[in-house]
Structure 1
Amino acid sequence: MKKLLLLALTALAALALAACGGNENSEGSDKVIKIGVNGADGAQWPVMVELAKKEGITLEVVEFTDYILPNKALAAGDIDLNAFQTISFFSNFVNESGEDLVPISTTVFAPLGVYSDKITSIDDLQKGDKVAIPNDASTLPRALNLLQEAGVLELSDDFGITGDETKITSNPLELEIIPMEPQQTARVLPDVTISLINNGIAAQAGLTPTTDAIYYENSESETVEPYINIMAARAEEADNEDYLKIAELYHTPEVEEAIKEEFKGSQIIIRKTAEETATMFENMLKYYK
């Protein structure tokens, strides 16, 4: 009987300790925050983990292999934050899903670039030249906006971030615009005059916007706002001090240096205030409602 009583008391003590542990790690000292990402091997994450540790926070980086599950996991409470997506993609997800998620900070911007094996300046384009652009719903309008910014063509006033080729109002060089699967845009470089290649695929092909592109997005331009990446949380926890501390750490010189070293200028830290980030979100939602 005494043995049974001892076992029962031991079990109750274990349960009590577990309950008191809450959001702490196995050492019982640090708060644990789970952040969902795509590509946990990014150079910034080990730096973030170490910086968070100094703040008494155990940052657990949870890797996902697609672009939907990190938001679903955040909404379900399986993770506390995520940092992997543009404000445009995020806003579209929130609008379609109805999940109560919000951005709490900006992270990086990855420029879309214009690449060529045949010319060295966008001004060298000739009549009838072939132009490859990604055909996915988010990058196609982004590519056309970039061509307009470069002075190559003009788009209708209502083009926004959801327009397509039918919204081209002027194409003086009669360029042949060829939408294709994003992965193909790097492979067809020998067959077209220019190809607009998104950042990730350019990196896979060994290309960097700041050194290899003949033209690329300016992070200061208003047209790139939809493509700034953000860190997101559940709306009811947007003011959580520990989450805001993690967002703050992303903007430290140590993290910026790690990103510069790994991505060679193909990713740029964006520092916007909480108010500016909230305004971006409101503006993006208007496009999808």
Structure 2
Amino acid sequence: MHIRHTPLFRKAAAVAVTLGLAAGITACASDGSDDDVITIGSTEADKSQWKVFQEKAKAAGLNVEVKGFTDYNTPNQALSEDELDVNQFQHLLFLANYNVNSDADLVPFGATEIFPLGLYFKDGSTVADVEKAGEVVIPNDPTNQGRAINVLVQAGLVTLSKDGLLTPTPADVDTAKSKVKITAVDASQTVAGYQDGKPAVINNNFLEGAEVTAQEAVFKDDPSKPEAQPYINVWVTTADRKDDENYRKLVEIFHDPEVQEAVQNDTNGSAVEVNNSAEELQQILTDTEAKIKEQN
């Protein structure tokens, strides 16, 4: 699964789910048995988008093998150890944390999508309505709290004591200059807050429980804004292979309209297609890694 808002930072054994494009394609490109096979690591190998993607790749003359993993740590380790050619499951912030904490140098070579984090209000439809309510419920877990606060910053509802914080906490909020009060609760309880009539920032994972769709958000983070860019999902490989021509073709194929239609079906319309260049993604990654090192 692409990391949306609640990545599970646990280490588990990877379960290989091979989805070959043609009979007989069973070997990894990295084992030297078939250098024409591009092996992709994913945590959502069973999604329909990959079936469509593989059909398009085959038509483009590429042999693609997708390997599924059951956790979010193993695909990067497998890539670092040359067990994969590329992976596609994570956003730039997750990649930056992996590189910094593992002293690795994995790089993005193409963008896929972003899953905007939204602000929802049962009794209002505008940011002004939220301001009148005076309070916003947000998730309190480390992964989502900082992003939720930055969503409110982008909406003009919250001011931070210091600009540009990657993962701000409620302690970083300048309450005197902010237009709403923040109440941080367990991510699952943001649904209860919403149902009780309070504006709430709700993870995509819990939208169904709140009986609301991503399209009903009063406000959501903008992929073009600096605060949201670390959450762009990306194609990733090792530094020495980032300019591989066939890897760039993978990016083009992913943005094929039929593949994108499958992505929307898989994500209930919550994914927003992103087309940042490899150079732009690398700059965002470099900046994010620097902020992580600074905060550490």
Is this a same-fold pair by TM over 0.5? Answer: yes
Contact map agreement 2:115 2:271 (CA 8 A) in 1 = yes
Name 1:36's counterpart in structure 2.
Answer: 41
Deviations 1:189-212 (A, max 9, x none): 2235111112333357553322x2
List per-residue Cα deviations over 1:122-174 (Å, max 9, x = no partner).
31236774422122323211111111222212112345212211111135677
Aligned length: 266
Which of 229, 242, 255 is equivalent to 2:259?
A: 255
- Listed as ranges, the gaps of 5+ residues in structure 1 are 1-20
Q: Is the 8 A contact 2:28 2:34 kept in 1?
A: no
Partner of 2:54: 49
The residue identity in structure 1 corresponding to 2:220 is Y
Write the mapping of 1:94-173 to structure 2, written as runs, cut at 5 A.
Answer: 94-125=99-130, 129-171=134-176
- Select between 168-177 and 80-89 the one with higher mean Cα deviation: 168-177
Q: Which residue of 1 aligns with 2:188?
A: 183
Distance 1:194 1:215 in 2: 11
Provide closer, same or farther for how the CA distance between residues 99 and 192 of structure 1 changes in structure 2, counting only shifts above 3 A: farther
2:245 maps to which of 232, 238, 241: 241
Question: Is the 2:109–2:234 Cα contact (8 Å) retained in structure 1?
Answer: yes
Which protein has the bigger helix share? Answer: 1
Unaligned runs of 5+ in 2: 1-26
* Distance (Å, rounded) in 2 between the aligned partners of 1:203 and 1:185: 12
In 1, the alpha carbon distance for the partners of 2:208 and 2:44 equals 14
Structure 1 77/129 Cα, relative in aligned 2: closer, same or farther at 3 Å? Answer: same
Distance (Å, rounded) in 1 between the aligned partners of 2:75 and 2:206:
21
Counterpart-to-counterpart distance in 2, 1:208 and 1:277 = 29
Q: Is the 8 A contact 2:264 2:271 kept in 1?
A: yes
State whether residues 30 and 56 of structure 1, in contact with CA within 8 Å, keep that contact through their aligned partners in structure 2: no
Q: Radius of gyration: which is bigger?
A: 1
After superposition, the Cα gap between the structure-2 partners of 1:31 and 1:188, relative to the gap in structure 1 and judged at 3 Å, is farther
Aligned-residue CA RMSD in angstroms? 2.8
Q: In structure 2, which of residues 88, 97, 118 is the aligned counterpart of residue 92 of structure 1?
A: 97
State the distance in 1 between where 2:56 and 2:200 align: 39
Amino acid in structure 1 at the alignment position of 2:166: I
Match in the other structure for 1:193? 198
**Counterpart in the other structure of 1:62:** 67
Partner of 1:231: 235
C-alpha contact 1:156 1:168 (8 A) present in aligned 2: yes
- Deviation track 1:212-244 (CA, whole Å, cap 9, x = no partner) reads 212222233333111111111112221222222
